[in-house]
Structure formats: C-alpha cells, structure tokens
Amino acid sequence: MKNIAVIGAGTMGNGIAHTFAQFGYQVQLIDISEEGLKKGLATIEKNLDRMLTKGKISEEEKQATLNNISTYTQVEEGVKQADLVVEAATENETIKLEIFKTLDKVCPKNTILASNTSSIPITKIAAVTQRPEQVIGMHFMNPVPIMKLVEVIRGYNTSNKTTTLVMELSEKLNKVPVEVNDYPGFVANRILMPMLNEAIETLYNNVAGVKEIDTVMKLGMAHPMGPLQLADFIGLDVCLSILEVMYDGFKNPKYAPCPLLVNMVRAGKLGVKSGEGFYDYTNTKKAEEVAKQFA
C-alpha cells in the first residue's frame, strides 16, 4: 500500500493524514470544504512544529511529511489511485452510508474501504457496497499521532486478507492494532461512554460538582483527564451520538444518554470545539492546555 485517501479534514481526519504521511505514505486528504482543508493542514503543521520543538522529528522530516499530503475537494479525484480509503467524517450514520456508496462506485476494485467510526456497525456500512469483504473499521484514538491503539473491526463479511493487511499496515504506523468484533461501540466506547455518561449523571444528580468529579477520577483512579473534561475534549455531540447508537443497537437502558448531556448538545455546548462544555474554553490558551495533556 502506497496511496492512502482520507475522507474528512477534521480532528480525526487530519490526525490520520498526519500519521500516514509521517510514515512515508502518499496521502490524499479530501474534504468538501476548501476552508476545512486549510484548517486541517494548519493543524498538521502546528502539531509537527510541536514535535519538532520536543526533538521528536527533524525539520527535514517535518517538510517530508507535509510534502506527502495533497488535498482535494472532489472525492473522485482524491481516491482514483487509493489503495486504502479511511473515512473520518462526522459520526453520523446517514452521512457515512452515503460516503461509502460513493466510494464503492468511484474507487478502484482492489481498494480497501475503512471507516474510523467509533460506534456504527461495520456490517451495516459494508452492506451499502458491492465489496463487503473489503470493508473494515480502523478506529484510531485521538490525538492520532500520539495514541498507540487502533481498534480493527471486522464486519460480518470482512475477509481474512483485508483484516491481515490492515493489521499489518497499522503496525507499520507504529500503532498497536487490536482486532475486535462488530458490535455497537466495539470495545473502547462500549466501556468508555457509559463511564462518561455516569459522570454526567453524577453531576446531573448533584452528587458533586464538575471539578470535584474530575478530581476524584484523576487522583483516585489515576486517569490523566477527568471524565467530564475528557467528554469536552471528545465533543459532547460525539458522545451523545455514540450513546444513541449503542442504545439503539442494544435496547439496554444503561446506554441511554443523560438528559443533561442531551440538553447541553441542544444548546450548542459541545466542549472544546464550541468554546464551552463542562468547562469554559473561550480562552484559547485554556483549550491548548487541555490538548497538551495528551501531547
């Protein structure tokens, strides 16, 4: 595999593009918005500069990484030579299914189609294509250049060949791939999201305040970031979407989103990306401090 197309230049998309490019792959970063592509590239360069300052990469490696990335606003142009496409669009089932229908039509027949979805069943995504054996989940963790884990999710029809190729490719990125089966939330979010939701319920029930809840989990459980701060970092809308997928998939009330989470998302309080969630991030330095906890 030499050519990797990434759909979506947001937080996950630009992180995935950065990682592949840093390891020498030719990356085609695709987004419907030219402005989105500019922001994505700016984020990649900023993260590379941070790595350069810390001595993790050289100036030559930084430039080589940037040179390995080309941008496109037309899917057809960006994927025409892709060996692998990694979809990293918003966590919305309708949007993802439409993307995969398009990819199936315009990608070469041998192209593997992967989704970075954190909750939507791969089997369901694969079902809208004519190549279900070549559809797989590659769930990277945020921030992608730093975090080691890749959840590799094989759908009902995903072939052994596809799974092996993706596992080996993940290792070439200096990641640790873990193969999991295709159930809502997979492993990471099936365990993480109920914990975050319970933290929100704890706040909702006035058991303790935001900082108190996070302090208990950081100091008592050695978590690097409290659950409410982590929810802000992930995006409260993303948390809500994942919980809704899990609740719909399992029909189990333990996955039902807390009413406080629902109301905050309705009010546009989405966490770091909106400037306010459980914490106030209107000060950009504050937002950067949060991000640095994972750097």
**Active-site residue among 189, 197, 241, 274?**
189
The one-letter amino acid code at 255 reads Y
* The pair of three-digit structure tokens given for residue 139, joined into one six-digit string: 């769930």
Q: Which two tokens stand for residue 219?
A: 């100091």
Q: Please, are residues 121 and 96 in contact by the beta-carbon 8 Å criterion?
A: no
- 212 included as an active-site residue: no
User: Whole-angstrom Cα distance, residue 8 to residue 103?
Assistant: 13
Catalytically annotated residue among 116, 118, 170, 197: 118
Give catalytic status of residue 189 as yes or no: yes
Residues tagged in the binding site annotation for NAD(+) = 8-13, 31, 91, 96, 118, 142, 273
Q: In what order do the strands lie in the sheet with 84-87?
A: 69-72, 26-30, 3-7, 84-87, 112-115, 135-140, 149-154, 176-181
Both tokens of residue 74? 């037309």
Residues making up the annotated binding site are 8-13, 31, 91, 96, 118, 142, 273
Is 118 an annotated catalytic residue? yes
Catalytic site residue from 14, 68, 139, 241: 139
Residue 44 and residue 50: Cα distance in Å, rounded? Answer: 10
Answer whether the bond into residue 143 is a cis peptide, omega within 30°. yes
Quote the CA–CA distance of 7 and 102 in Å, as a whole number.
12
Catalytic one of 151, 197, 241, 244: 151
Neighbouring residues of 139: CB distance < 8 A, sequence distance ≥ 6 = 116, 117, 118, 150, 151, 152, 153, 186, 188
Residues designated catalytic:
118, 139, 151, 189
